[in-house]
Each structure stands twice: as structure tokens, then as C-alpha cells.
């Protein structure tokens, strides 16, 4: 019987209520497939700022590092919203990404037939969309130095640095090609090689790595043009790789394609062991949604699909991951809806009730 240590960081807003359902799903999987999941929980984001004055304590970061996987809710809310504050909830997230060396962020976007009308795009554009964005997560504009404000000759100025070295690029490229190989064998790499030196290096390294994957078709697309292609012909894309900043932007756009952000999981992973698994951090895309927090309105399915990614990438439990994904597909096809998915005025399930439907499908 395998044992997995899961470090739970519920965070703020709807984070705690959806994370609780994720934990229940993992417990159900443990029972059904005879694994032991041990949970430890701590504070991150605004909750940690209120308790300790920082977005994450060093010892909490250490516990995250020592775990097998981190299950993360969401951080932020109006209470801590001042972007000029020295202490901000997002710092917890960035500290985890960099401290755990989670250099790849995976955000799959799959159109679910039963929800096809939830999109603002026409059904015929959305039908069959099945893509994954891999965003570089620990370098580029987010972490390059200098990153500072200063006063020069009495005038305020600020600088961010889009630093990349070839190793940081090639590991993302390899991951992208390996994933594409298991899928539809197409890799789209985003950059602004027409303008930026860092992008020209990105394109050069990705092209070099492509020689090792002759079976995968590579295309380079300028990041600005990609924002158009993504809404015009999203079905054309399979695996997309992007640097930290372009990846941030394109994943927000991608998350809107299907119109059901409450259904989208994400995984942040680093260098994997021989067996293909490794420490990762798993979080739903939707964020803390403070306006609906504590009301039982949140859709737990993104978090539940997030646990499937945790099972797959950190525990190597593919069959278990698929069981969770199937259970979610089944409840959606059966017509179960939380408020975000229900037609206006139509009855809907609470966070807890929706999770119960999934648990029932899992035999819990
Ligand atoms: C994301 C978010 C974060 C980012 C914020 C909250 C710091 O937008 O995970 O995409 O910019 O990376
Ligand atoms: Mg973002």
C-alpha cells in the first residue's frame, strides 16, 4: 500500500471550501484503490498575512518541499488588494513556485460536449478543443533581476528583466515535445522573436530541441498573433509552450474558450524522477472568487480535476486519475450543475452537493 504525503494550502476566498472537497476525493480514491493519503494543512496568502504578517512562512515552504504534492486552493481578496503593499498574497504563490523549483505550469483546456453552450464562442469553433498550455514558471519577467523601482535624476523609473538561459528553455521544450508525442504530435511555441533577444534565444533553443523529436510538428507563432488564432481556430492547437509572461496571458485567454472556468485544473511541476513523477503543486485556475466565498456557490469540479492531475503527475496513479476525470464527466453528462454552469434561474447544486455526486460515482 503506497503512502503519499499531501500538503494542503487552502488559502483565501473559495479556496478552503473547494480544497475540502479535493481532500474528500483523494480520501475516496485512497479507499477504493488502497492507497494512503496523509494530509497536513497550513496557511498561505491573505490568511497567512493576517496570522503571521507574511504570505508564507519559511517553515511552511519547507513543509511543502518535503511533501509528495501540494494541493493549493487560491490566494487573494479585496482585503489585501493594494498592489503597492509590501506584503501581498501572491507572494506566497511565487515563493512556492520558485522555492519548489516548479518550472512548468500545465493548463489543459478541453471542451466538454455537455457544456458547449457555456462558451461565448460559437459551438462549432469550440467543439473538439483539446489543448494544453505549458508555461515556463520560474524565470523570465517574473524573476529576472533587476526588478526594481528607482529614482534617477529626480524622475521615477522602473525595470523588469526578461532573463532566460538555454537550460531553462530547453527543459520546457523537451517537456512540450514529450507531451505532444503522447497526444496529436503538434507543438506550438510562442515568442516575440521579431522584437526580443530573449525570444530569439527561445526560438533557437526550441528549434534545436525539435531535432530530437522528428515525429512532432513544430510551429513558432508570435505571441500577439496567437491571441487571435486561439479564438479563431482553437481546435488547431495541441501542445503550446510559452515563457512566463506570454504563458500567463495566453492561459487566461485559453481558460475562457470553453466558458466554464470552474472546470479547469492546473499543475505546476519541476524536474521529474526516472519514473516520470515528482513534487508538484496543484491548483484550480479559477482563483479565490471572494464575491461568492462561504456561500456554497463555488464549483468544486476544477479542484476535483486538479486532484486528478496530482494523482497523475506526483503519484504516478494514472488509473486513479482517470477514475476521477470520468466521475466528473459523468456528473456533467447527468446534468448536475453548480450555479456557474446552470442556466439563469435554473436550480443548481451547492459546492458540497456537487462534490457528493462525484463521490457517489467514485463509489464512496
Ligand atoms: C496565474 C496568476 C499569477 C501569475 C498571479 C496571481 C501572481 O495570474 O497563476 O496565472 O501571474 O502567475
Ligand atoms: Mg495569470
By DSSP bridging, strand 280-284 and strand 265-269 are antiparallel
Looking at 81, 167, 252, 291, which residue is catalytic? 252
Give the residue from 258, 293, 318 where a domain finishes: 258
pTM over 0.75: yes
CB-based contact 226:188 (threshold 8 Å): yes
Separation of 127 CA from ligand 1 center, angstroms? 28
DSSP reduced 3-state for 239 = strand
Q: What is the pLDDT of residues 301-310, one digit of tens each?
A: 999 999 999 9
How many independent structural domains does the chain possess?
A: 2
Banded model confidence at residue 259, pLDDT cuts 50, 70, 90: confident
Lining ligand 1 with CB less than 6 A are: 90, 93, 248
Separation of 321 CA from ligand 2 center, angstroms? 25
Q: In the chain, where do the E strands start and end?
A: 3-11, 36-41, 69-74, 104-110, 130-136, 144-152, 155-161, 186-191, 217-222, 239-242, 265-269, 280-284
Pair (246, 301) in one structural domain: no
Say how many CA atoms lie within 13 Å of 301 toward its Cβ.
26
Say how many CA atoms lie within 13 Å of 199 toward its Cβ.
17
Q: How far apart are CA 137 and CA 179, in angstroms?
A: 17
Task: Determine, yes or no, domain membership for 269.
Answer: no
Please compute the mean of the pLDDT values over residues 72-80 and round it to a whole number. Answer: 97
Task: Determine, yes or no, domain membership for 43.
Answer: yes
103 burial class (0-12, 13-18, 19+ CB within 10 angstroms)?
buried
Pair (144, 66) in one structural domain: no
Asked about 192 being catalytic, the answer comes back as: yes
CB-based contact 144:160 (threshold 8 Å): yes
Please compute the mean of the pLDDT values over residues 145-172 and round it to a whole number. Answer: 98
Return the C-alpha cell found at 100. 519548489
Please compute the mean of the pLDDT values over residues 122-135 and round it to a whole number. Answer: 97
Separation of 44 CA from ligand 1 center, angstroms? 15
Task: Determine, yes or no, domain membership for 267.
Answer: no
Asked about 191 being catalytic, the answer comes back as: no
Pair (25, 148) in one structural domain: no
> Of the candidates 11, 20, 103, 4, which has an alpha carbon nearest to the alpha carbon of residue 50?
11
Pair (220, 289) in one structural domain: no
Q: Which domain holds residue 246?
A: 120-258
Looking at 192, 213, 238, 336, which residue is catalytic? 192
Task: Determine, yes or no, domain membership for 114.
Answer: no
Task: Determine, yes or no, domain membership for 156.
Answer: yes
Give the contacts of 173 (CB within 8 A, at least 6 positions apart): 189, 205, 206, 209, 210, 241
Pair (36, 151) in one structural domain: no
Task: Answer yes or no: is pLDDT of 212 > 90.
Answer: yes
Pair (124, 182) in one structural domain: yes
Pair (179, 228) in one structural domain: yes
pLDDT for the residue numbered 213: 98
> Which amino acid residue places its CA nearest to atom 9 of ligand 1?
248
Asked about 330 being catalytic, the answer comes back as: no
Number of C-beta neighbours around residue 291 at 10 A? 11
Q: How far apart are CA 73 and CA 324, in angstroms?
A: 18
Pair (245, 289) in one structural domain: no
Pair (94, 200) in one structural domain: no
Task: Answer yes or no: is pLDDT of 218 > 90.
Answer: yes
pLDDT for the residue numbered 364: 81
Pair (254, 327) in one structural domain: no
DSSP reduced 3-state for 93 = helix
CB-based contact 284:18 (threshold 8 Å): yes
Please report the atom of ligand 1 found closest to the CA of residue 105.
9
Pair (127, 220) in one structural domain: yes
Task: Determine, yes or no, domain membership for 10.
Answer: yes
Task: Determine, yes or no, domain membership for 207.
Answer: yes
Q: In 153-242, where do the E strands start and end?
A: 155-161, 186-191, 217-222, 239-242
Give the residue from 258, 290, 306 where a domain finishes: 258
Pair (192, 311) in one structural domain: no
Q: What is the pLDDT of residues 93-108, one digit of tens each?
A: 999 999 999 999 999 9
Asked about 252 being catalytic, the answer comes back as: yes
Q: Which ligand is nearest to the CA of 252?
A: 2
Percent with pLDDT over 70 in the chain: 100
Separation of 180 CA from ligand 1 center, angstroms? 25
Return the C-alpha cell found at 69. 504534492
Number of C-beta neighbours around residue 306 at 10 A? 28
Q: How far apart are CA 261 and CA 297, in angstroms?
A: 14
| Domain of residue 4, CATH code | 3.40.718.10
Q: How far apart are CA 320 and CA 36, in angstroms?
A: 13
State the chain's mean pLDDT as an integer: 97
Asked about 50 being catalytic, the answer comes back as: no
Task: Determine, yes or no, domain membership for 149.
Answer: yes
Task: Answer yes or no: is pLDDT of 19 > 90.
Answer: yes
Q: How far apart are CA 159 and CA 40, in angstroms?
A: 39
Amino acid at each position: 500500500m503506497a503512502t503519499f504525503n499531501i500538503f494542503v494550502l487552502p488559502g483565501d476566498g473559495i479556496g478552503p471550501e473547494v480544497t475540502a472537497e479535493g481532500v474528500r476525493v483523494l480520501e475516496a480514491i485512497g479507499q477504493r484503490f488502497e492507497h494512503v493519503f496523509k494530509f497536513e494543512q497550513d496557511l498561505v496568502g491573505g490568511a497567512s498575512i493576517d496570522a503571521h504578517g507574511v504570505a508564507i512562512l519559511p517553515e511552511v515552504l519547507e513543509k511543502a518541499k518535503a511533501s509528495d504534492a501540494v494541493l493549493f486552493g487560491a490566494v487573494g481578496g479585496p482585503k489585501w488588494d493594494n498592489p503597492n503593499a509590501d506584503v501581498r498574497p501572491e507572494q506566497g504563490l511565487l515563493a512556492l513556485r520558485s522555492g519548489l523549483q516548479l518550472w512548468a505550469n500545465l493548463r489543459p483546456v478541453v471542451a466538454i460536449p455537455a457544456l458547449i453552450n457555456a462558451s461565448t464562442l460559437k459551438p462549432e469553433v469550440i467543439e473538439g478543443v483539446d489543448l494544453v498550455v505549458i508555461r515556463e514558471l520560474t524565470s523570465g519577467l517574473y524573476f529576472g533581476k533587476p526588478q526594481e523601482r528607482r529614482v534617477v535624476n529626480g524622475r521615477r523609473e522602473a525595470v523588469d528583466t526578461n532573463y532566460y538561459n538555454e537550460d531553462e528553455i530547453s527543459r520546457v521544450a523537451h517537456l512540450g515535445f514529450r507531451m505532444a508525442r503522447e497526444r496529436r504530435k503538434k507543438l506550438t511555441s510562442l515568442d516575440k522573436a521579431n522584437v526580443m533577444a530573449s525570444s530569439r534565444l527561445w526560438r533557437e533553443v526550441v528549434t534545436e530541441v525539435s531535432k530530437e523529436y522528428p515525429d512532432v510538428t513544430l510551429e513558432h507563432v508570435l505571441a500577439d498573433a496567437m491571441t487571435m488564432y486561439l479564438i479563431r481556430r482553437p481546435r488547431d492547437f495541441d501542445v503550446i509552450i510559452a515563457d512566463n509572461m506570454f504563458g500567463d496571458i495566453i492561459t487566461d485567454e485559453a481558460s475562457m474558450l470553453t466558458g466554464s472556468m470552474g472546470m479547469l485544473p492546473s499543475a505546476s511541476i519541476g524536474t521529474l524522477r526516472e519514473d516520470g513523477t515528482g513534487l508538484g503543486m496543484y491548483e484550480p485556475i479559477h482563483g479565490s472568487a471572494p464575491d461568492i466565498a462561504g456561500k456554497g456557490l463555488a464549483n468544486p469540479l476544477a479542484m476535483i480535476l486538479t486532484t486528478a492531475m496530482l494523482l497523475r503527475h506526483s503519484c504516478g496513479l494514472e488509473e486513479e486519475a482517470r477514475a476521477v476525470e470520468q466521475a466528473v464527466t459523468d456528473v456533467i453528462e447527468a446534468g448536475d450543475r453548480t450555479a456557474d454552469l446552470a442556466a439563469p434561474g435554473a436550480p443548481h447544486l451547492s459546492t458540497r452537493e456537487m462534490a457528493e455526486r462525484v463521490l457517489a460515482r467514485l463509489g464512496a
